[in-house]
Amino acid sequence: MPGPARKKSKNSSPVFSAAAKKRIRVLLLLTVLAATLVTGFYLYTEWRHYQRALHARFPEFGITMPAHYSIHGIDVSRYQRYISWPAVSSMEVLGIKLGFCFIKATRGTGHVDPQFSRNWKKSKQAGMVRGAYHFFTPTQSGVEQARHFLRTVQFAPGDLPPVLDLEEAGGVSSARLRKEALLWLTTVERATGIRPILYTNVGFYQRYLGSSFDQYALWVAHYYQLRQPSISRGWTFWQHSDVGRVNGIEGPVDFNVFNGDSTAFRRILIP
């Protein structure tokens, strides 16, 4: 049975006074205005970078090209920002064109390169042979990093094999570094049926890796050499410069070559 109705207290007052409500409305309006300005400035900045990429044109690649190799390519990440892939694929200097690209996909157990999705799609549409790489974080689980990479990248026939970018020791022991890196490599190979490629530089390979990774195809960085990288083991790709120029990309780009002819190149692609 309902009790008697309670009378309003004469001393009761609204939760917010009229003046307080006005201040809240003004604060909300200013917040929305600030957010709109920040978003607009960000979108304008990104649009400007995109326009610069669309119109970026260079008379040549800007570096000494190792012309005794027949298959040339680049590697990119968010640092190249927006890329006009048709301009990249159509550039030709003295008979040399860029036919492949390695694209940064992931890092660690949670980071995805913000340009990966666009680069992965647009590079293939432009006729480039594409590959995806994972930047390894030595202090995190190799298995979990592999799973993160596999969740992010959808490979297709004609793509390059998966790549592990291993260039930081991160303060861990050499034994732990090798163990976790091998776990990444074996996890990805079991999941895809494709043996990954290992990327590193000459000094890092000699100091930390050595014979433990000799069974993996090597993409090695060794800049400004005239004919080939100075490493005793065999290699498949050579990153020979980090200051190349190419149409469709505003800033400097890493340049690479494949160690073989077109028949050998087709053999390493995902069937």
pLDDT digits 0-9 by tens, 188-231: 999 999 999 999 999 999 999 988 899 999 999 999 898 999 99
Domain boundary among 7, 32, 55: 55
What is the rounded CA–CA span in Å between residue 146 and residue 186? 9
- Give a yes or no: residue 12 inside a domain: no
The residue range of the domain holding 179 is 57-268
Contact 161, 196 (CB under 8 A): yes
On whether both 40 and 109 belong to a single domain, the answer is: no
- Give a yes or no: residue 74 inside a domain: yes
- Give a yes or no: residue 67 inside a domain: yes
Of 25-39, 81-95, 251-265, the one with minimum mean pLDDT is 25-39
Summarize the confidence of residues 12-29 as an average pLDDT.
Answer: 74
- Give a yes or no: residue 11 inside a domain: no
- Give a yes or no: residue 68 inside a domain: yes
* Residue % of the chain over a pLDDT of 70: 86
Query: Would the pLDDT of 264 be above 90?
Result: yes
* Residue bearing tokens 């000799």: 214
Of 48-57, 92-101, 234-243, 247-256, the one with minimum mean pLDDT is 48-57
On whether both 84 and 26 belong to a single domain, the answer is: no
Domain boundary among 30, 55, 80: 55
On whether both 164 and 30 belong to a single domain, the answer is: no
CATH of the domain at 159: 3.20.20.80
What is the rounded CA–CA span in Å between residue 271 and residue 261? 18
- Give a yes or no: residue 177 inside a domain: yes
Give the H/E segment covering residue 32: helix 18-55
Residue 165 annotated among the catalytic residues of the structure: no
- Give a yes or no: residue 231 inside a domain: yes
Residue 43: predicted pLDDT: 55
Query: Would the pLDDT of 18 be above 90?
Result: no
CA-to-CA separations, 146 to 48, 107, 168, 241, in angstroms, rounded: 35, 10, 17, 28
On whether both 30 and 115 belong to a single domain, the answer is: no
- pTM, two decimals, is 0.81
Q: How confident is the model at residue 50 (pLDDT cuts 50, 70, 90)?
A: low
Q: Which two tokens stand for residue 186?
A: 């074996």
- Give a yes or no: residue 8 inside a domain: no
Q: Which of 155, 162, 209 is nearest to 182 (CA)?
A: 209
Query: Would the pLDDT of 111 be above 60?
Result: yes
Give the residue with greater pLDDT, 253 vs 47: 253
On whether both 40 and 145 belong to a single domain, the answer is: no
On whether both 77 and 48 belong to a single domain, the answer is: no
On whether both 72 and 51 belong to a single domain, the answer is: no
Query: Would the pLDDT of 54 be above 90?
Result: no
On whether both 123 and 217 belong to a single domain, the answer is: yes
CA-to-CA separations, 220 to 1, 9, 57, in angstroms, rounded: 84, 81, 28
Residue of 75, 113, 165, 250 marked catalytic: 75
On whether both 86 and 179 belong to a single domain, the answer is: yes
Contact 256, 222 (CB under 8 A): no
Contact 204, 170 (CB under 8 A): no
- Sequence-distant (6+) residues with CB within 8 A of 180 are 136, 138, 140, 141, 142, 145, 172
On whether both 137 and 185 belong to a single domain, the answer is: yes
Residue of 144, 159, 167, 168 marked catalytic: 167
pLDDT digits over 130-148, tens only?
999 999 999 999 999 999 9
On whether both 32 and 69 belong to a single domain, the answer is: no
- Rounded to 5°, angle at Cα 247 from 243 and 253: 25
- What SS3 class is residue 29? helix
Domain count for the chain, please give it. 2
On whether both 40 and 151 belong to a single domain, the answer is: no
Summarize the confidence of residues 85-104 as an average pLDDT.
Answer: 97
Summarize the confidence of residues 91-105 as an average pLDDT.
Answer: 97
Domain boundary among 55, 74, 102: 55
The residues with which 132 forms a beta bridge, in sequence order, are: 103
Residue 167 annotated among the catalytic residues of the structure: yes
